[in-house]
Homo-oligomer: A and B are copies of this chain.
Amino acid sequence: MIINSIGKCMTPRILDEKSLKAREQSIIDAAIIIIEQSGIENLTMDKVVAKVSYSKGTVYKHFTGKEDLLLAISNQAIAILADLFWRAAKFSGCARIRMLLLNMSYLIYAILHPALFKTVICSKSPNVYGKSSPERIQEQEQLEMKLLGAIHGVFDDAITSEKLVLPSYMDIQQLCFANWSMSYGTISLLSEEVEQCSGRTSLVVEKEIFNQNNLLFDGLNWQPLTKDNNHRIALENALMQVFPDELLILKERGRILDF
């Protein structure tokens, strides 16, 4: 601590890493609030600066630009999703139900954090990706590995427990990808319907995810098959055990998962 001639306590000349992290987080938080309130298209650096107690120059010390800030938000979102995925993967049920649970947790995340979900989608565009710092991009890749790791683990268990036999023409990576792209496609295309119960179409996101999962897994001959097990009840139980708090928040918002 440095005390100057008139006894005023000055801020330390070299900022410790912890307070730097805290400051960075406060900027990210401010940006998220702006996105929640007025959409990602209306996020401006001026608005962010107005919301935090630091100047423009300081904000630009943390982020190389607006896109870098978006990617930082995106990374935070992926970290939240990775937590949900791993909680689902560690559930004590059979592998097939765990995968169903994991995919449903993707929807839970999209409903609970619509602004974060949209930011991640948006950050996939070359626009954002191309203007971000290499560090932030590397961080994103690591976080995505963590996501895929959870999916990979469940497939491993399914194969080890002999409930699933790998098709001769596919490896585990391809299975992980098939599973991921199906959920991604469904939630992306129905993202406008995600938050409300009834949208402009008759499609209900959770129903489509549930059905498509069952179709794909039946196609893989992943035991137990839909005809041999009440996956609906098994999933309901798993959801209540693993994500009770999340379901409660959904309920308070009047959004009950109906698959």
A203's nearest neighbour on chain B, judged by CB, is B177
Tell me the residues in window 181-234 of chain A with beta carbons closer than 8 Å to chain B beta carbons.
181-186, 188-189, 201-203, 207-208, 211-212, 214-220
- A residues in contact (CB < 8 Å) with B: 39-41, 118, 121-122, 124-127, 130-131, 167, 169-170, 173-174, 177-178, 180-186, 188-189, 201-203, 207-208, 211-212, 214-220
A141's nearest neighbour on chain B, judged by CB, is B200
Copies of this chain: 2
A211's nearest neighbour on chain B, judged by CB, is B170
User: CA of A34 to CA of B69 in the docked complex: distance in angstroms?
Assistant: 27
A191's nearest neighbour on chain B, judged by CB, is B124
Q: Name A's interface SS.
A: helix
A-B contacts, 7 listed (Cβ < 8 Å): A41-B126, A118-B125, A167-B215, A178-B186, A181-B182, A184-B188, A212-B216
B residues less than 8 Å from A201 (CB atoms)? 173
| Nearest Cβ on chain B to A175's Cβ, whole angstroms | 9
| Nearest Cβ on chain B to A165's Cβ, whole angstroms | 13
Q: A173-B202, A185-B185, A202-B173 are in contact. Are A178 and B39 (CB under 8 A)?
A: no
Q: Are B208 and A177 in contact (CB under 8 A)?
A: yes
**A181: which of B118, B122, B174, B186 is its contact (CB, 8 Å)?**
B186
| Nearest Cβ on chain B to A195's Cβ, whole angstroms | 13
| Nearest Cβ on chain B to A9's Cβ, whole angstroms | 45
B residues less than 8 Å from A127 (CB atoms)? 39-41
User: CA of A217 to CA of B219 in the docked complex: distance in angstroms?
Assistant: 7
User: CA of A55 to CA of B182 in the docked complex: distance in angstroms?
Assistant: 45
**A118: which of B118, B126, B188, B218 is its contact (CB, 8 Å)?**
B126
A181's nearest neighbour on chain B, judged by CB, is B185
| Nearest Cβ on chain B to A182's Cβ, whole angstroms | 5
B residues less than 8 Å from A125 (CB atoms)? 40-41, 118, 121-122
Q: Are B178 and A212 in contact (CB under 8 A)?
A: yes
